[in-house]
Structure 1
Amino acid sequence: MDVALDKKLCGYKQIALEKLENILLTIFGRKDLVVEPDMIRILDSFANMTWLKSKGFDKIFKLSSSIPPKTKTLVFMIFANLLTFKHVIDQIQILKSSSQPPEIDAIKEFHIIVVPNLYYIFKHLLESEGLADIVSLHRFSWDFIKVDQNLMLLEIPKTFQQIFIQKDKSVLSSIANSLKVFNIVHKRPNLVLTCGENSEKVIEMVARMESFRKTQKNDNERTPDFNAMIVIDRDADYPSCLLTPVTYSGLMLELYDMKAGVLNIEGENKISSGKLEFLKDPPSKLDEQNDVKTLRMCGSSDEFYTLNKHNHFSDVVNIIKAESKNLEQEKRKYSRDMNLEQMKDFVEQNLPKVAAQKKVLYKHLIICEKIVQEMSLNFEKLQTVEEMIVRNENRKQIFAFFDECLSTNAHKFNILRLVALFHIFNGIGLSGDEINKIIGNYLNAFGHKYLYMFHNLHKAKLFPDILKPGPKNLLQIASNLTKKTSFMTDSLKLKLIPNTDNEIATNEKKKITKTCPSYVFNGNFIPLIAQLANLLIKAENFNEFVTKISGFDMKMQINGELKSLKDASENSKFFPLRPKTVFIFVIGGISYAEVAACKIIESLTGSTIVVASDEVTNGMNLIKSAM
């Protein structure tokens, strides 16, 4: 990546600091800060404790059921969630009743900073509770946070649940506002493409916002940092989240959650927490002795992760073994035969370096052992079943695996993840009996309180409508044999499912070569955003690009309006892309497998691809959103 571009991407931290400082300048005197727990790691990524203290904060508390002490002005910082806001209001009511009534024209004692949107309902609730005189509301958004070299996140939680399950589009305005800031920093790309109704709404909002902005003198002189921007809905490509990745970074996220580029290793992992109690493995000795709490997945402090994050997991395990041997050899270089000067050099230069490398390697050893412990039992079989689902083969064997999972290795989310994948790829669809069997077995395993989950999954297009009967007999199933789901049709047009005979011949080759972005799923599937970026970068002219994605529903922005690709020939002058710079934003979360696939395209085409989203996600998180 170009150094100047990298500095600009890091510059969002300074923008966030200035926006937060402008709010804090309106809050006078010494103050205490109460932060929502999920926000602490994100806040620390751009505003650390030293900076906050320099702005007048004495103490920082986690928002909890315990009421914070009221000795001075209290500043609450929360996400835009009505229940959380009501919880804060209740705490303020208690603090208000225990303190002296404020004087007229006195400084407001309480401030609530809401991220990323301040909705009207919050102001209405504040007034109805009679707190408008002592509480001041502020809106704040940190926009993009750079969590890796080519990955930017808005870190807005539960966006997928809000948009695709609850059908609440209010968060789209916040995404649009951040993309407007992106256009100010980098200048609007020459090509802006959308895929999905939500992405269209976001780009239309950005266009309206920009129409009110005064044109700067140097706007026409500036060259965009990115030649093309693709904004895409998460539901345009569910398989890139639902499939199990084979890359190291992807498998890390299968077990642990990440916030602002920091992996939280502390506590029970996600796979274990989703199992029935009697199926959980007893804690190992390494778990009891484990003092590793976090792993930073960004920056250059962890060279091992930087070099191996997109490698096949089996390769990473072998590299850890080799690195461990090398470190042991480094330690053995110390000898009593050394003279004093040699000993001094060894202790001052070699030992600290070896100790630091050993500490980093120990963290990765803990993670790798946990991945093997939780996933190795059925991993190869799971990969085979996923391949059968993607290629629409061996229906009977797939359902046998579903039954096996529910009876011997029941997991609250991963079994539904497989069923959702099957629903997306299978043209025949699930029969009424099959739907009833899956739901019945699941509820018997985990309890009937989860019945509503299937309705929520249907709203997100991850499960069939349980109220609409599917094909019941062989005649109905046979009539559907030639049918394909809309996603299956698109994946065939865009060649998202590689031809194993030509492109990747053997399982061994899948592990070694990175000549195809399907590498991230063991050769089973190419993430949609990687394929779109590849086609866009390689297209020599506009007609070639339109021909290659013919039939796939995409729109392109022309003079602030979105038009179908057939009507967007005015943009043909921007082909071929020079320089090859593409920015991709996924609404509803992005997986690390997609990030790795785009990195492969980047290295194969000599381009620069920066991917962004509201948060990092995976298949387990998508299913969990239905809860």
Structure 2
Amino acid sequence: MCTHLSGGRLNISIIQETLRKELLNLLQLCEGPKVTIWDEWLAGPVGLVAQYSLLKEHEVADMFPLRPGSLPTIAVKHIIFIARPKKFLMDLISDYIVSLRSKQNTPVEFHLFFVPRRSELCEMHLKDRGVYVNLTIQEFPCDIFPFDSDLMSLELQNDFRENYLEGDPTCLYNAAQALRTIQQLYGIVPHVFGKGPAAKQVWDLLCNLNKEEQGMGPRGATTSCIDQLLLIDRAVDFTSVLTTQLTYEGLIDELYGIKSTTATFPGHKFVSADDANPEVTARERKRVILNSGEELYTELRDCSFTTVGAVLSRKARIIKTQLDERHNNKSVQEIKQFVSRLPQMLANKQSLATHTAIAEYIKEQTTDSFEFHDKIQCEEDFLTCVDNEKVCPFIEDLIAQKAPLTKTFFTYGTIYESKIDEKRKRTGKQWLHPLAVSLSVLSHFYKKLPVKSTTGL
């Protein structure tokens, strides 16, 4: 169990432990050595539930990503595919089974664990590919993943696109199932509020699921650990999510990306004076785990980046003072106390060095960048309704610079309706036909959004 998950107002480690038991129970159905082949999208989130070291204890001999290509010969009895119910993944699984059957000399049993639940369409596709009879299919009902003491995620890929552009509301059902899981573990939430049509749909689905469950067992504790639940449809507010995040954690995510509580950085700023192989360290990319299990990160994560330097300086002075205490220790008892605190002090020193390096990377791309300042100024002017006309020249500059299309999404969605066609024409000329079509779809999507949103459930 990860201790940082139990440090918040809600004990998130309960979810981790529940999901871990579910996964291990499924693995125990396959007696003997086994190999798992993972949907790459799930590898990180499920790794937060059960790490590879734990899986090895349950006879998982090896793990492979589910991607196009061939696998080496696998000398185990059980091969387990763990994947979302997606058609393209079923094609990969089918190809693997056909390939492995042709290469394996010993009998092999194939298993498929759908996450979070099985799909009839996917099973029909497996039948069409002729591999369904070779598979034993189970469900791994992992609706929600524990990330931190204050964060859980459904980790749904392209869910907004599927719901609003493709008309597939599966993600709403998954959200309702995740809320039901939370209710079963923490009790029925007494006060629920919502905003937006999708929020109302999720609530209605949750109510239906609860009705179906009546008489089938306990629905959760009568006293809830959660007092209020707020459901928000993303469609009621695009602006806030498209603006640049300016906290320490937010800028790490903006610039380097945080995936499953892990971020990856260039290695050259992490080279220390006592590094045995500084050249190797500088070349390799540094993976840093970011969660509330680290005291310094907990303090920094929600700070505005302009205050991060002051926090790091203060921490550096504290650590230096603590380490200098060794010169004042004279008695054996004082030395013993210092030695007992030394591992924690050294860990704090290493943590400080890590976040100082990260802050330097961020500073180079933000406070030292005129382009970044222009972008932030443009966003602030729009959000405060000050000289909104400045947004248009800013977009024109981005087009002239051949900036990535994603950089213009915030401003493109906020300019006046009368100027959208003009901007789309200019953008289309600069980014050629395929992306011009994307912008046309985006503009059409904005017009389809509901003007009024449902409030209150």
Q: Give yes or no for the alignment of 1:75 onto 2:66.
A: no
Structure 2 vs 1, CA of residues 338 and 156 (structure 1 numbering), >3 Å: closer, same or farther? same
Partner of 1:554: 455
Q: Secondary structure at the match of 2:80?
A: strand
Contact 2:267 2:283 in 1 (8 A): no
Deviations 1:400-422 (A, max 9, x none): 222223334823411233222x1
Note the C-alpha offset of 1:317: 1.8
CA distance in 2, matches of 1:163, 1:135: 30
Note the C-alpha offset of 1:456: 4.1
Note the C-alpha offset of 1:110: 0.7
Q: Give yes or no for the alignment of 1:386 onto 2:287.
A: no
Q: Secondary structure at the match of 2:61?
A: strand
Partner of 2:103: 98
Structure 2 vs 1, CA of residues 235 and 185 (structure 1 numbering), >3 Å: closer, same or farther? same
CA distance in 2, matches of 1:101, 1:44: 30
Structure 2 vs 1, CA of residues 39 and 434 (structure 1 numbering), >3 Å: closer, same or farther? closer
Q: Give yes or no for the alignment of 1:233 onto 2:224.
A: no
Matched ranges for 1:148-187 at <5 A: 148-187=148-187
Note the C-alpha offset of 1:313: 0.6
Higher relative contact order (CA 8 A, sep 6+): 1
The one-letter code matched in structure 2 to 1:238 is: F
Q: Which moved more, 1:46-55 or 1:257-266?
A: 257-266
Q: Give yes or no for the alignment of 1:28 onto 2:27.
A: no
CA distance in 2, matches of 1:348, 1:66: 53
CA distance in 2, matches of 1:45, 1:314: 31
Note the C-alpha offset of 1:287: 11
Partner of 1:306: 298
Matched ranges for 1:438-587 at <5 A: 438-441=427-430, 443=431, 447-458=432-443, 460-461=445-446, 553-556=454-457
Q: Secondary structure at the match of 1:62?
A: strand
Partner of 1:365: 356
Partner of 2:273: none
Q: Say which of 398, 416, 420 aligns to 2:409.
A: 416
The percentage of counterpart residues that share the same residue type is 18
Q: Secondary structure at the match of 1:311?
A: coil
Note the C-alpha offset of 1:184: 1.9
Provide the aligned C-alpha RMSD in A. Answer: 3.4
Deviations 1:227-250 (A, max 9, x none): 332222111111121111221111
Partner of 1:397: 390
Contact 2:117 2:141 in 1 (8 A): yes
Structure 2 vs 1, CA of residues 394 and 183 (structure 1 numbering), >3 Å: closer, same or farther? same
Structure 2 vs 1, CA of residues 382 and 288 (structure 1 numbering), >3 Å: closer, same or farther? farther
Q: Secondary structure at the match of 2:170?
A: coil
- Total equivalences in the alignment: 439
Note the C-alpha offset of 1:369: 1.6
Contact 1:8 1:185 in 2 (8 A): no
Structure 2 vs 1, CA of residues 358 and 151 (structure 1 numbering), >3 Å: closer, same or farther? same
CA distance in 2, matches of 1:247, 1:386: 15
Structure 2 vs 1, CA of residues 186 and 26 (structure 1 numbering), >3 Å: closer, same or farther? same
Q: Give yes or no for the alignment of 1:134 onto 2:134.
A: yes
The one-letter code matched in structure 2 to 1:438 is: T
Note the C-alpha offset of 1:315: 0.4
Q: Give yes or no for the alignment of 1:120 onto 2:120.
A: yes
Partner of 2:272: none
Contact 2:147 2:261 in 1 (8 A): yes
Matched ranges for 1:82-93 at <5 A: 82-93=87-98
Matched ranges for 1:259-298 at <5 A: 259-265=259-265, 289=282, 293-298=286-291
Q: Say which of 424, 427, 434 aligns to 1:435.
A: 424
Q: Secondary structure at the match of 1:413?
A: helix
Contact 1:195 1:231 in 2 (8 A): yes
Partner of 2:312: 320
Deviations 1:383-430 (A, max 9, x none): 32112222444244222222223334823411233222x14xx4x542
**Runs of 4 or more above 6 Å deviation:** 216-221, 285-288
Partner of 2:275: none
Hey, which of these two has a bigger chunk of helix by percent? 2
Note the C-alpha offset of 1:70: 2.4
Partner of 2:256: 256
Partner of 1:59: 62
CA distance in 2, matches of 1:412, 1:366: 30
The one-letter code matched in structure 1 to 2:346 is: A
CA distance in 2, matches of 1:326, 1:290: 32
Note the C-alpha offset of 1:306: 0.7
Q: Secondary structure at the match of 1:133?
A: helix
The one-letter code matched in structure 1 to 2:211 is: S
Q: Which moved more, 1:451-460 or 1:127-136?
A: 451-460
Note the C-alpha offset of 1:123: 0.8
CA distance in 2, matches of 1:220, 1:15: 14
Note the C-alpha offset of 1:197: 2.6
CA distance in 2, matches of 1:431, 1:419: 8
Matched ranges for 1:215-230 at <5 A: 215=215, 222-230=222-230
Contact 1:242 1:418 in 2 (8 A): no
The one-letter code matched in structure 1 to 2:21 is: E
Q: Secondary structure at the match of 1:210?
A: helix
Partner of 1:586: none
Structure 2 vs 1, CA of residues 457 and 177 (structure 1 numbering), >3 Å: closer, same or farther? same
Contact 1:385 1:398 in 2 (8 A): yes
Structure 2 vs 1, CA of residues 187 and 382 (structure 1 numbering), >3 Å: closer, same or farther? same
The one-letter code matched in structure 2 to 1:359 is: Q
The one-letter code matched in structure 1 to 2:438 is: M
CA distance in 1, matches of 2:73, 2:399: 49
Q: Secondary structure at the match of 2:361?
A: helix
Q: Secondary structure at the match of 2:232?
A: strand
Contact 1:118 1:138 in 2 (8 A): yes
The one-letter code matched in structure 2 to 1:160 is: F
The one-letter code matched in structure 1 to 2:210 is: E
- Unaligned 5+ runs, structure 1: 103-107, 269-284, 466-484, 488-550, 557-627
TM-score normalised to structure 2 length:
0.84
Partner of 2:274: none
Note the C-alpha offset of 1:312: 1.0
CA distance in 2, matches of 1:185, 1:326: 41
The one-letter code matched in structure 2 to 1:554 is: T
Matched ranges for 1:37-52 at <5 A: 37-52=40-55
Structure 2 vs 1, CA of residues 183 and 347 (structure 1 numbering), >3 Å: closer, same or farther? closer
Structure 2 vs 1, CA of residues 216 and 66 (structure 1 numbering), >3 Å: closer, same or farther? closer
Contact 1:33 1:77 in 2 (8 A): yes
TM-score normalised to structure 1 length:
0.63
Structure 2 vs 1, CA of residues 267 and 83 (structure 1 numbering), >3 Å: closer, same or farther? farther
Contact 1:175 1:202 in 2 (8 A): yes
Q: Which moved more, 1:431-440 or 1:214-223?
A: 214-223
Contact 1:16 1:143 in 2 (8 A): no
Contact 2:192 2:229 in 1 (8 A): yes
Structure 2 vs 1, CA of residues 266 and 205 (structure 1 numbering), >3 Å: closer, same or farther? farther
